[in-house]
């Protein structure tokens, strides 16, 4: 069975029993080699790691190897910091041992960092860490596990010891959560001074979206020296605009490496009807079409006064001169009018009143997404 339902969630098969076994065997072989001569004490972190630990330990041939089982209990402490962890079940004297912590999965890395600190304080010879699964994309601490079975994307997974609310630990395969909500892909538009940046940040937080700013993308692909980045650089070196195909390629690349995202917010792209068409084609291929275009509408006098205000503190020279500002607004309207029409033809253009307080405008955007965009999706 490739798709299963546990409580309210749907999961799809991700790793077969054979793939898991191969990963565990690889880890055991590496441990047998690296731990020879320093009899290890394996520490299985309950509950999740029990199955991994059992399959791994039967493949360990290092003389004098031992295994022990501990768990972490969270309780609400008296302090204002909230949850406090407590290590329970450690009975043996572990001083002088080489301790190998066995974890089913490293997600944020908070647990493993805490455990390493605890064991290092106990006078052990060495602390090593092993995780069957490792989600580098979720990491919040500086952790480099000594042994890793498989690197996986930042998705919630179950099976082979890992649970969802206590269930699914018995599955011999590993399943990954299937996002059944369609992705929310928003194209955000607004003239200079409309508060696009502020509202984009709000929507990202509110709906768990991933930001797709083409300027940021270009800079990061170039910095990472990827083939696309090198391609873009050659055009920029000649003082030319980066062609649409290259930009679309970068967007596609970013989307494919964030398949777990709830959706994307497009900022600064598309700027022309041709780009919008190419974006549509690419998203269609990936099966995640644009949900809608939200355009923030603000009266010209208000935009001018907001920008002049910003110019007093930002130091941006283009925010100081009323004539320059008017011209930028004019250019925006000329350029985006055809794009609004393009999305309106698909029934996907949403006009948002951008006058008033920041919170008010944010709530209008949120309402448009919840009632308009999501409804469009369900049709």
Tell me the β-bridge partners of 162: 159
Report, in Å, the least distance between residue 49 CB and Mg ion.
Answer: 6
Site for ligand IMP in 218-277 (CB under 6 A): none
Q: Which does 132 bind (CB under 5 to 8 A by kind): ligand IMP, Mg ion, none?
A: none
The answer to whether the beta carbons of residues 376 and 348 sit under 8 Å apart is yes
Check if 310 is active-site: yes
Number of residues binding to ligand IMP, judged by CB under 6 A: 15
Closer to ligand IMP by Cβ: residue 66 or 113: 113
* CB proximity list for 263: less than 8 A, separation 6 or greater: 183, 184, 185, 186, 207, 208, 209, 210, 291
The answer to whether the beta carbons of residues 356 and 306 sit under 8 Å apart is no
Q: What is the rounded CA–CA span in Å between residue 263 and residue 141?
A: 25
Site for ligand IMP in 35-64 (CB under 6 A): 48
Q: H helices of 73-225, where? A: 110-120, 196-207, 214-223
- 259: tokens are 């398949």
The yes or no reply on residue 161 touching Mg ion (CB under 5 A) is no
* CB proximity list for 144: less than 8 A, separation 6 or greater: none
Work out which of 31, 102, 105, 127 binds ligand IMP, going by CB under 6 A.
Answer: 105
Q: What is the rounded CA–CA span in Å between residue 331 and residue 191?
A: 9
Q: What is the rounded CA–CA span in Å between residue 102 and residue 162?
A: 13
Check if 13 is active-site: no
Catalytic residue among 34, 271, 300, 306: 271
Report, in Å, the least distance between residue 308 CB and ligand IMP.
Answer: 47
Q: Which does 57 bind (CB under 5 to 8 A by kind): ligand IMP, Mg ion, none?
A: none
Q: Which stretch binds Mg ion (CB under 5 A): 41-49, 143-151, 195-203, 327-335?
A: 41-49
Q: What is the rounded CA–CA span in Å between residue 377 and residue 190?
A: 23
Work out which of 6, 28, 41, 48 binds Mg ion, going by CB under 5 A.
Answer: 48
Q: Which does 246 bind (CB under 5 to 8 A by kind): Mg ion, ligand IMP, none?
A: none
The answer to whether the beta carbons of residues 63 and 39 sit under 8 Å apart is yes
Report, in Å, the least distance between residue 17 CB and Mg ion.
Answer: 20
Q: Which stretch binds Mg ion (CB under 5 A): 8-16, 47-55, 281-289, 296-304?
A: 47-55
Residue nearest to Mg ion (CB): 48
State the DSSP H helix or E strand holding residue 44, giving kind and residue range, or none if neither: strand 40-46
The yes or no reply on residue 104 touching ligand IMP (CB under 6 A) is yes
Residue 146's nearest CA partner among 193, 169, 194, 112 is 112
Report, in Å, the least distance between residue 362 CB and ligand IMP.
Answer: 30
Site for ligand IMP in 162-181 (CB under 6 A): 162
Q: What is the rounded CA–CA span in Å between residue 54 and residue 35?
A: 18
Work out which of 31, 101, 157, 365 binds ligand IMP, going by CB under 6 A.
Answer: 157
Catalytic site positions: 196, 271, 310, 316, 328
Task: Please give the residue ranges that form the binding site for Mg ion (CB under 5 A).
Answer: 48
Residues that bind ligand IMP (CB under 6 A): 48, 103-112, 156-158, 162
């Amino acid at each position: 069975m490739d798709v299963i339902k546990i409580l309210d969630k749907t999961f799809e098969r991700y790793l077969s029993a054979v793939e898991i076994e191969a990963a565990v065997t690889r880890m055991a072989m590496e441990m047998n080699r690296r731990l020879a001569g320093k009899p290890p004490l394996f520490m299985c972190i309950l509950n999740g790691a029990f199955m991994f630990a059992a399959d791994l330990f039967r493949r360990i041939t290092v003389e004098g190897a031992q295994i022990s089982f501990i768990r972490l209990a969270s309780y609400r402490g008296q302090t204002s910091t909230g949850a406090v962890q407590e290590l329970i079940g450690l009975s043996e004297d572990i001083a002088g041992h080489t301790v190998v912590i066995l974890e089913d999965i490293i997600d944020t890395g908070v647990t493993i960092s805490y455990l390493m600190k605890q064991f290092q304080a106990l006078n052990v010879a060495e602390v090593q860490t092993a995780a069957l699964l490792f989600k580098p994309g979720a990491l919040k601490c500086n952790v480099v596990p000594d042994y890793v079975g498989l690197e996986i994307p930042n998705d919630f997974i179950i099976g082979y010891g890992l649970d969802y609310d206590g269930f699914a630990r018995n599955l011999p395969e590993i399943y990954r959560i299937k996002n059944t909500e369609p992705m929310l892909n928003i194209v955000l538009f607004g003239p200079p001074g409309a508060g696009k940046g502020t509202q984009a940040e709000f929507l990202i937080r509110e709906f768990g979206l991933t930001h797709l700013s083409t300027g940021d993308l270009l800079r990061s692909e170039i910095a990472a020296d990827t083939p696309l980045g090198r391609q873009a650089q050659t055009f920029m070196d000649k003082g030319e605009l980066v062609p649409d195909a290259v930009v679309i390629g970068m967007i596609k690349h970013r989307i494919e490496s964030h398949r777990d995202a709830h959706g994307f917010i497009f900022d600064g792209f598309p700027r022309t009807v041709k780009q919008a068409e190419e974006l549509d084609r690419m998203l269609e291929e990936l099966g995640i079409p644009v949900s809608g275009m939200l355009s923030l509408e603000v009266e010209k006098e208000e935009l001018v006064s907001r920008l002049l205000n910003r110019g007093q503190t930002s130091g941006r020279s283009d925010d100081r001169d009323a004539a320059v500002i008017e011209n930028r607004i004019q250019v925006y309207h000329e350029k985006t009018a055809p794009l609004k029409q393009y999305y309106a033809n698909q029934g996907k253009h949403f006009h948002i009143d951008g006058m008033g307080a920041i919170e008010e405008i944010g709530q209008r955007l949120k309402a448009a997404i919840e009632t308009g965009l999501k409804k469009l999706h369900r049709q």
